[in-house]
Chains A and B, each alone.
Chain A
């Protein structure tokens, strides 16, 4: 059987040849850049209220989710062809399971090696602490998790709600089992790291993997003979989504008020609501877990503010990246012909698309904040009212927090602006049709941040402060100058009305004044923020320019 294994492995490696290096780069550079960002904001990691264990678990979960998503995509693209090969069902099930396990386990081992042999080891210690190794129980747990995921996928290909319920119960049991290793003294006590892997743990993991293989094998056999078609997951999901659509979402058969409304509806139904709900619920849950788990142990309530800003930023980035894609992945087009041939000016087309981005961000952000408030409420109950009083007193008394309790509503407002800013910036960068542009923007920013962060080891403190402030002012100046140029170009090409441009710039001035007079930060930081705030309005002027560039290829 070396022939099929060799051929399938070659295809598997080719399919993952781009995504795996990308995932590994994100996981290797991510912690370093987080460290750098905190350093840029002059905020030591120890004071942000997030424990090393929380970072560690978050990091492992992110790595697993990214890799599992890539694997699902890789298998979905190849299994139909695999079924036509002269190989048995057990071979297909075994090959998929072994390759998936090797991929997820190998990924962490590779990253661990990269950390050990690069400068990033410093960042690793700073973020994860010394006692949270990436080698240990996480490898068999990853193997178990990916095989469970695969079994669920194949099991639910022939869908029934009973199966869904059983899968849900089993996943919760496994989650509880994993959680019990971190919360050995009970779920309300403080979490500890999981470092020893017992014989019982090994037995549980092996049993789950073997059972998963059996379920996968049965699912593959059913799929191969077309037994799943009539009861497919997609068909059942469609029934549910149709039902939800009739209750919550506007009826597509109605008459749209305007072409822009039709465009916004199309985008909303296509990807807006999905990304809004997924990121809102996903990151809302994450925020709730982070707030709930670290509330009692936090030294400084500033941590709440950091988390409130960090999570909506990720939401904004993801929403922008998803809504920015106007053509299906893998397509040669950069915008679908269906959208590009809409009889609308670039300005009106951009307006419809921006409406969708606005609603998606608002809903995702709203969900995240609701989850955050619920978590805070639960945390208050958990630590008791007196502890909360101590926290708030500390918040209002500390010299850093001259805003007093106002810091919390302001942080909420800022998180909304930040989420919109990132969504709008990334959609506009994507809408230009050059999908490398957002990547260049991220890599550029990270390169500056990491470069300065690393330079601090070799250059004296005064020089590095000077460099940091220089980078901040230069960055802000580039953003403001570029945005004003965008406004001017859009105005000249009649893509923005003078009144709208004036309104947007006035809004930016108002934001800047609020920032300048209210924030208790150094002037240089305030100037930097004012520059960044330009991104909350400039994408509105730039969106038609981006659409025009994409739609009418020069």
Chain B
């Protein structure tokens, strides 16, 4: 039995001249919550489609619970709950019909849990999908995705365009609950504060390349934000090894660095800089710094 829920090795894909994925590696451990972040067009959805078997890997391999999702979609998708970014649920279906339709595919479908979720999300079984708001659609999609208690929950931009209340439902009530039951969650998002709050592991994609894939704690502790005041105003940002981003003007600058903090502080001291503040950066700041690096 494989230890990883998802194992992606050396996967590349291009659409015409656009490279969507370039030799991407990603390993998702069982029971973890992995946040996949990146700019628009970074390749997040393409990567998730490889996991679902909707794209056949041209190079490299994709394994979900040790199985090839293209060769064995029945078995792999049977273990997955998926919420699509576009929420393309059939407009004409009623919530009750959607639930009984989805139930037909999953022997492990839990009627009581589905009903509990439906009541929690305040959806009526007689409501048609086309009459639902964006947030309600996301909630309906979530019921279909999690009521069979999947071993792997794949969420593609689950909170895009949703209000804070629905986002809270999805992230707090769903992702953590699933993870607390020892199951795995892989989700992509633009909302980095939420990714930081719920993820154990973060994977950062940029122009199809995997910039970073590490446990969340490691990412946060290996980056530092330093506020520095110099004796004389600086004309241009600092260029020191380990500094990802340097912002400011005149005498006061904010530096975001990665790795050996002492070495960076030493370099700053040599330039007559005084360390005013030292703090842990947010994932959002790390992301912006990495993208601009």
Contacts and interface: CB of A to CB of B under 8 A. Distances in A.
B73 A270 contact: no
Interface string B98-139: 001101111000000000000000000100100000000000
A337 B73 contact: no
A252 B93 contact: yes
B104 A341 contact: no
Contacts of B56: 552-554
26 contacts: A252-B97, A252-B100, A253-B94, A253-B125, A255-B103, A255-B104, A256-B101, A256-B104, A258-B104, A261-B104, A262-B104, A269-B92, A270-B90, A328-B88, A336-B88, A337-B84, A338-B89, A338-B90, A341-B84, A344-B74, A344-B77, A346-B73, A551-B53, A552-B55, A552-B56, A553-B54
A341 B90 contact: no
Given A252-B96, A254-B100, A343 B106 contact: yes
B58 interface: yes
B78 interface: yes
Interface in A244-274: 252-256, 258-259, 261-262, 265-266, 269-270
A305 B268 CA distance: 94
Contacts of B84: 337-338, 341
B54 A259 contact: no
A167 interface: no
Given A253-B97, A553-B55, A342 B77 contact: yes
Contacts of A328: 88
B80 interface: yes
A554 B52 CA distance: 13
B54 A340 contact: yes
B101 A262 contact: yes
A554 B94 CA distance: 34
B88 A338 contact: yes
Contact of A343 (B73, B89, B90): B73
Interface in B241-285: none
Contacts of B125: 253
B173 interface: no
Contacts of B78: 343
Interface in A22-47: none
B212 interface: no
A405 to B, nearest CB: 46
B171 interface: no
Interface residues of B, number: 33
A348 interface: yes
A345 interface: yes
Given A265-B101, A338-B88, A554-B58, A345 B73 contact: yes
B174 interface: no
B240 interface: no
A337 B88 contact: yes
A552 B62 CA distance: 13
A246 to B, nearest CB: 12
Given A254-B100, A259-B105, A552-B54, 8 more contacts: A255-B104, A262-B104, A265-B101, A270-B90, A337-B88, A341-B52, A344-B74, A553-B54
B86 interface: yes
A259 B106 CA distance: 9
A348 B105 CA distance: 11
B187 interface: no
B65 interface: no
A548 B1 CA distance: 27
Contact of A252 (B52, B54, B55, B101): B101
A265 B74 CA distance: 19
Contacts of B72: 345
A552 B104 contact: no
Given A252-B100, A254-B100, A337-B88, A343 B54 contact: no
B89 to A, nearest CB: 6
A176 B165 CA distance: 60
A270 B104 CA distance: 17
A256 B96 CA distance: 13
A72 B55 CA distance: 36
Nearest to B97: A252
Nearest to B74: A345
A348 B72 CA distance: 12
Nearest to A261: B104
A344 B53 CA distance: 12
A337 B93 contact: no
Nearest to B78: A343
Interface string A540-554: 000000000001111
B73 A344 contact: yes
B269 to A, nearest CB: 54
A254 to B, nearest CB: 7
Contact of B92 (A255, A270, A333): A270
Contacts of B93: 252, 266, 269
Contact of B104 (A259, A345, A553, A554): A259
Nearest to B77: A343
Contacts of A552: 53-56, 70, 73
Interface in A225-255: 238, 252-255
B105 A344 contact: yes
Given A552-B56, A553-B56, A255 B100 contact: yes
Contacts of B54: 337, 340-341, 551-553
A256 B100 contact: yes
Nearest to B102: A262
A340 B78 CA distance: 13
Contacts of A256: 100-101, 103-104
Contacts of A551: 53-54, 73
Contacts of A261: 104
Contacts of B53: 551-552
Interface string B200-230: 0000000000000000000000000000000
A361 B88 CA distance: 27
A70 to B, nearest CB: 23
B87 to A, nearest CB: 9
Interface string B57-68: 010000000000
A446 B84 CA distance: 41
A253 B73 contact: no
A145 B100 CA distance: 45
Interface in A334-372: 336-338, 340-346, 348
